Amino acid sequence: MTTRRTLILNGLALGSAGLLGARLSGAAGPEHTPDENPLTVAVLGATGRTGKFVVEDLLARGHAVRGISRSAGGQPPRDGVTWISADVRRPETIRPALEDADALVYAVGVTYTQVEVSALYDVYHTGVADTAAVAGQAGVKRFVLLSSAGRLLDGEFPERLRPSMDAKAKGEAALRTSGIHYTISRTPGLSDRPGGEYGILLLQMDPIPPGGPYMVCREDSASVLVECAVSENAINKTFTVINVVTPEVGSWRDALPYLHKDSA
């Protein structure tokens, strides 16, 4: 039987204007060969659930890592990683950690149910803006931001997520105007399933159509963040990352009603 979820995903595949790319999951595994040009990549939020996969993926690809968070200095030593305690709410602590880094991944997060609204803006808005400013001064070439998708069809965010999504939208806007080369990789719900189980779609649509819940696992999201940090293929691009299973044969028929009409 064709599921609603499958229909919508098929609809996206047919509406290729919004479809940036699809490929099998690229989570770095043991078979991964090192990249040709080793870089130094700063990972902000390196001790977090997504950040730790970003660190693993970078190491597997032969890159040097600066692992940064408020508690990172307490991490056990690890070959290839320099752990640095710093706080994005205090850009003067971030600046030294970015010196001579080639790129940075911003995977900083706070749980919106556990902090004041102002803390969301500190991390997702001013934290991003301030980090972009000091990254530019430090000569960092690329800023890859882990952001969130969640806009409803009417353009609004769901009520309970509104403060964090508004803060992230403002952080995205600040990054776009900062002058640094950036990539904004939005995720819908994050899961802790292993990477590489499902394909990955990169969608350039906002909002993404109904039919979810759309999910991506943190390990797959991390592999996308790393690719954007170490290559020039995603400079100044914004997209949403979702995991997909192959649509069922014939489900494309049911997707037709969901396609957008051409503009006149």
The verdict on 48 binding ligand NAP (CB under 6 A) reads yes
Give the x-and-dash track for 14-43 against ligand NAP (CB under 6 A): ------------------------------
122-151: contacts with ligand NAP (CB under 6 A): 123, 146, 148
The contacts of residue 154 (CB under 8 Å, 6+ apart) are none
Instruction: Pick one of 10, 25, 50, 243: the residue that binds ligand NAP (CB under 6 A).
Output: 50
Nearer to ligand NAP, 45 or 211 (CB): 45
107-126: contacts with ligand NAP (CB under 6 A): 107-110, 123
In whole angstroms, the minimum distance from the beta carbon of 209 to ligand NAP comes to 18
Nearer to ligand NAP, 10 or 47 (CB): 47
Instruction: Pick one of 6, 25, 47, 126: the residue that binds ligand NAP (CB under 6 A).
Output: 47
Q: If binding means CB under 6 A, how many residues of this protein chain bind ligand NAP?
A: 24
165-224: contacts with ligand NAP (CB under 6 A): 187, 189-190, 218
In whole angstroms, the minimum distance from the beta carbon of 52 to ligand NAP comes to 8
In whole angstroms, the minimum distance from the beta carbon of 257 to ligand NAP comes to 29
